Amino acid sequence: MNGPSLTKRERLRSRVIAVIGLVLVWNLLWGSFTWLNTISGAVIAVLLLVVFPLPPVKFGGRLRPLHVIAFFARFFSDLVVASFQVAFLAFRPGEPKSAIVAVQLRVKSDLNMTLVAEAVSLVPGSLIAEADQRTGTLYIHMLGVKDAAHLEHLRAEVLRLEARLVRAIGSDAELRKVNDSREEPAA
């Protein structure tokens, strides 16, 4: 699958955003924003991008502020609930059941797959085991699976997370794909 074709200006903007992101991470790793950290981070970021160039990512979506707020509100709520669930499993006698579930995403763009995978992995009790870019499928290790019905519920939750993400930052075509899909239960 070839990446999107970008103009020279879009490629430059993509690289500048990558450098800014890497410099931000560099400063966060050092724990303080100083001129020395920022300059050294910029030098290292440029060096990294020259040696290990990133594929271009074209953002064709639209930022919808109310849906972004709703996405993060639900995401943080899921974090808190999942943290208590995992803590409960840790203190419960016996070994918790787990499973790997395949979830085929409706929007198969690299950006969507990456953002859904990151959001899923950040929630305690779930971890991306593999991602198949060709089919748009995420294989997710999930902790605390009770039975087949619960597994289907967890799969539907991932699809709902994808829908919230697409509503927040997706293109109109991606939004239609998610809204037209019959796989997503009502949120």
pLDDT mean for each 10 residues of the chain (187 residues): 66 85 91 92 93 76 91 95 92 88 92 92 93 94 90 93 94 89 52
10 Å CB burial of residue 98 (0-12, 13-18, 19+) is: middle
Report the residue count for the chain: 187
User: So what's the pLDDT on residue 38?
Assistant: 93
User: So what's the pLDDT on residue 58?
Assistant: 67
The predicted-structure confidence for 60-104, as pLDDT tens digits, reads as follows 788 899 999 999 999 999 999 999 999 998 888 888 889 999 999
User: So what's the pLDDT on residue 1?
Assistant: 43
